[in-house]
Amino acid sequence: MGAARKFQVMSLTDAAADRVRELVDNSDQDALGLRVGIKKGGCAGMEYTMDLVEEAKPGDDVIEDKGIKLFVDPSAVLFLLGTEMDFEVTKFRSGFIFKNPNEVSACGCGESVSLQEADLKTFAK
């Protein structure tokens, strides 16, 4: 019997990878990558969190892609499955954008979201 195939929790665009690399390279600390998670807050119920990582925490899902490392908080994995992380610069703002298939709704300002757990049957193949 073969080992179960492990799928990647999140993907990221070239623009997101470039921005993460820039943040890590310009950090005052000895950063390895960026931790992505979620927390309760905002008018829609949840907010994405991002912090520089000096060392992995037990249970982190580590994504190595495009020369950078993303560390996904274990409590956020079911809410982030299938998410694409992008980075955009417009005339009025710049920031990370999450294209999350588990997003049910978002507030008008785009700072918080309502998320549901991913349907694992979608990822079992």
CA distance 15 to 101: 20
Do residues 94 and 88 make contact, with C-beta atoms less than 8 angstroms apart? yes
Beta strands in the chain (DSSP E): 10-12, 33-40, 46-53, 61-65, 68-72, 83-89, 94-99, 103-106, 113-115
Q: How many helices (H) and strands (E) would you count in the chain?
A: 2, 9
What digits encode the pLDDT tens for the residues 7-38? 688 999 999 999 999 999 999 989 999 999 98
pLDDT per position as a tens digit, 35-51 = 999 888 766 577 889 99
- The token pair that represents 1 in the structure block: 């019997």
Structure tokens at 87: 């980075």
Q: Note the pLDDT of residue 14.
A: 97
How many other C-beta atoms lie within 10 A of the C-beta of residue 85?
25
Residue 16: count other Cβ atoms within 10 Å of its Cβ.
Answer: 24
* Distances 68 to 8, 23, 84 between C-alpha atoms, Å: 14, 11, 15
